[in-house]
Amino acid sequence: MRLDLHPPIQETPYRIIYGDTDCGGVVYYAHYLRLFEIGRTEYLRTAGVTYRKIEEDQGLILPVVEVYCRYRAPARYDDQILIKTALEKVSPASIRFHYQLEKEGRPICFGYTIHAPVDRNGHLKRLPQGLVEHFQQLLERGHF
């Protein structure tokens, strides 16, 4: 599987800390999903939207309902990596982000997450049309 990143792309630098690694000295596999979240959070912030704002204004949260992560090369303690994040698709029912993690310009991991809006009681909802349009315009412009 190959995932492309379409503009706009958020680039978030991150230095691997000791707590990210396992007993083998490499980043523990589940921590890559946290790195995806760091990239996604910064993407949304740069796009003028935050999880907090979505929750406060719309009463919605966006849990991950599907995730894919393909590991290509390890990251180790103190490595400087770059988290690249791009919005791939948005609809009233879901939003999909793609990710590529790089070390020294080489991909070490790529993947995606799909999120579905739910209310505070966990019931499926739809993203407000204004938010969908905001993200669609962002994709059409190709820049923040």
Give residue limits of the domains in the chain.
Answer: 9-141
CATH class of residue range 9-141 = alpha beta
Q: Which residues pair with 9 in a beta bridge?
A: 86
pLDDT per residue as tens digits for the range 64-79: 999 999 999 999 999 9
pLDDT per residue as tens digits for the range 32-54: 999 999 999 999 999 999 999 99
- Residue among 53, 63, 64 at smallest CA distance from 130: 53
> Quick one: pLDDT at residue 4?
83
Question: Which residue is catalytic, options 4, 20, 22, 79?
Answer: 22
What is the C-alpha separation between 63 and 59, in angstroms, rounded? 13
Residue 119 appears among annotated catalytic residues: no
**pTM score:** 0.94
Per cent of the chain over pLDDT 90 is 96
